[in-house]
Amino acid sequence: MSGDRSQMRQICQHRLFHRFTVILLACGIVFPAVQAVAQSRAEEWQTVAVFSMISTDEGAPLIRQAVTAMNHPGLADMLADMEKTQREAFVTLDFSQPKGVVCQTNGRSFRFLAFAAMRDVTALPYGIGKMIADCEVNRDGWYKMPLSNAGQLPIMYQNVYVKQQGNWAYACYGVTQPPKELPDDAAILLEGLPQEYPVALRFNCAVLPKSLVNGYAALAKTFLPMAKAFLQMPQMEDSESQMALASFDLFTAVAKETIDQLVKFVNETETITFGLSGNADNDLIMTAKLIAKPGTDMAGDLALMADCTTGLIGFYRPDEAIYSQITATPIQAYDQAYCTTILTATEKLIDDMTDNVRKGLERDNNLTDFDGLEGMEKVMSLVKQSVHVLQQTVGAGKFDFAESITADFTTLMAVKIAGGNVLLKPGNELYDFAHLMMAQQLADDGIAQMVILERETYKDFLFWTIDVSISLPRHYVFGLSDSMFVYAQGFAPSVLDTVKEAIDRSSKPVPVPKEIMVFAPDKIGHAMKTFGLDIIANGIDEGQAVMDIMNTIPENAKIVVTQEVEDNTLTWATVFDGKLWPTIGRIWKASGFRLQISGTPES
């Protein structure tokens, strides 16, 4: 019977494989055909994405400024030589103009245009210009450059088209017929980004055709169930196959819901822009800006975010922590459906895992007692109830989370929950079981006094604490109330007191701070000295070198992330403090970094 079943599985898999292959081949034939038809029609091409870089004349001084701040003469000399070499080699380029790449669509297909200011594209060095000049030229002045080994590659378009127009050179990919008209000044395609950021990437989501977005999403979702059959391999045990299928069910649920969320995100977004810039203080600023379409669910999300409050402000400690972050966002109805689907699939996976482990333990002939089974069931019971609490938390309509690593290496983490009291019973049962097992094991090993487990109540919280005195003393705290879960760990014996203080400071909701994340690396070296911690490296010299670098980090040199919501616009800005550049320079020197430039301009 088992042989027949294996044979049937193989037959089914072969049939599914052939069907899968036919669908892929059909897609490979149909999509290029559709795109070719689309290109034959006179339609307006719109820009979907833009990658922009400022001119070398503007960008080189910014790089030199940062390198000077790093106090790394060797790197400065290397970059100076590199710039000199490239300016001498690329004499055809106009180094005073920006450059970039755009992706455009006509509603049915895509094309890429790269461009740079130059006098003669056929004068490019390293044999590139001669290669272009030897290519076939069409009536519109486009050189048709075949891609190297394109015949052996599974790519749709096997040529790149290059054209000199006025003082700009263009390269086009993704078409069988390159555009007949191009702007005389390609900088207009950069949508003003060089005036805002030295380097930038923008996605114009509003331009993406819904038919394309929805079509590709539907195609991706169609293939997910088909892949499930390949998990039922003949060589797998039934229990292994059951677990693999259950895991894939969870993956499928997550993938489908994520695809739907991405489609909704794209359809409700005007633009997303990522930019890199600096200022007179040598700060490096990375900006992400999202603009939502008015009247959409996303616009509603942003409006709620602007007025969002947090009930965990006591766990956010930017002034005294090495690292600290806080997040509070609304969970709207469509987000709740997304989370509920995933959590339901997770709950089913937990049931399957529990059943599978139970059967495995019961079949184990070497098992003399069922302590392992009892412990597993208590863990799974707590996990399953935790999923239930997560479902209730999602239904409450808000995500509120805070975390800090303080200067004495105490980790504090808290999240607001709903219906947390249901975790008290399974939590206590697991704690009691662990206490019993641990006490027995430690007594057998003669180290019973080195691990202490205790319980304590504070206000409406129940705390489970674990104090470990093996090697470096460490203290762990798990705290639970009906509306909050808390976790903390650290070397200082005052960890529990710190948690209580954070809870007291979080008694009233407050507006979410504009600075949502702060990293203060200058506190790391001091904390390591306080607790006598060492850097583990290849040798003593390397470890000492790292500590020396950490001890020279300037005070209050931080990396800060800010969040700002205005109208339909959400902006995240990450500021890398300019005072950190000398530290980067020391790290660069310690790493022994080398870069060699080779090659000649001629072919």
pLDDT digits (tens, 9 = 90+) for 331-359: 888 788 888 888 888 888 877 777 777 77
Q: Do the strands 451-458 and 569-576 form a parallel or antiparallel pair, or are they unpaired?
A: unpaired
The half-sphere exposure of 524 on its side-chain side, counting CA atoms within 13 A, is 17
Q: Tell me which residues of the chain have a pLDDT lower than 50.
A: 1-2, 5-6, 8-42, 233-236, 366-370, 537-540, 593-599, 603
pLDDT at 384: 85
DSSP 431: H
**What b/e readout covers 274-300, taking b as 16+ CB neighbours within 10 angstroms?**
bbebbeeebbbebbebbbbbeebbbbe
Whole-number pLDDT of residue 33: 36
User: How distant is the alpha carbon of residue 331 from its chain centre?
Assistant: 20
Task: Kindly report the number of other CB atoms within 10 A of residue 250's CB atom.
Answer: 18
Residue 66: count of CB within 10 angstroms of its CB: 19
Percent of the chain scoring above 70 in pLDDT? 78
Helices 56-70, 581-591: crossing angle, 10 deg rounding: 80
Contacting residues for 314 by C-beta, under 8 A, at least 6 apart: 501, 502, 503, 504, 505, 506
Q: What is the amino acid identity at position 100?
A: G
Give the separation between CA 198 and CA 53, rounded to whole angstroms. Answer: 6
Residue 39 has what pLDDT? 41
pLDDT of residue 537: 46
Q: Is the Cα dihedral 545, 551, 553, 557 positive or negative?
A: positive
d(CA 310, CA 213): 36
Amino acid at 275: G
